[in-house]
């Protein structure tokens, strides 16, 4: 007979301390993408400029962060 032991341990998840959040955007109508940055404002401005040039109104805005999971004590 096999015996199994289950241990339930609480964990927490936080932003990884050695990384930054990055922002980027891509147009939903064409292949335009904006360069990644660590601030959302320039990405938003680039989207508005793209709309002004092309009339394209839909964008996917991507915010990437890295997480660190640690065991709770």
Domain ranges of the chain: 20-65
pLDDT at position 35 is 77
Average per-residue pLDDT in the chain? Answer: 90
Tens digit of each residue's pLDDT (9 = 90 or more) over 10-50: 889 998 988 889 999 999 999 999 878 889 999 999 999 99
Tens digit of each residue's pLDDT (9 = 90 or more) over 4-20: 776 788 889 998 988 88
pLDDT at position 6 is 65
Neighbours of 12 (CB within 10 A): 10
Say if pTM beats, i.e. exceeds, 0.85. no
């Amino acid at each position: 007979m096999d015996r199994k032991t289950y241990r339930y341990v609480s964990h927490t998840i936080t932003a990884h301390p050695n990384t930054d959040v990055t922002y980027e955007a891509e147009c939903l109508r064409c292949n335009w993408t904006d360069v990644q940055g660590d601030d959302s404002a320039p990405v938003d401005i680039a989207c508005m400029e793209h709309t002004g040039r092309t009339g394209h109104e839909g964008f996917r805005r991507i915010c990437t962060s890295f997480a660190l999971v640690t065991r709770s004590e």
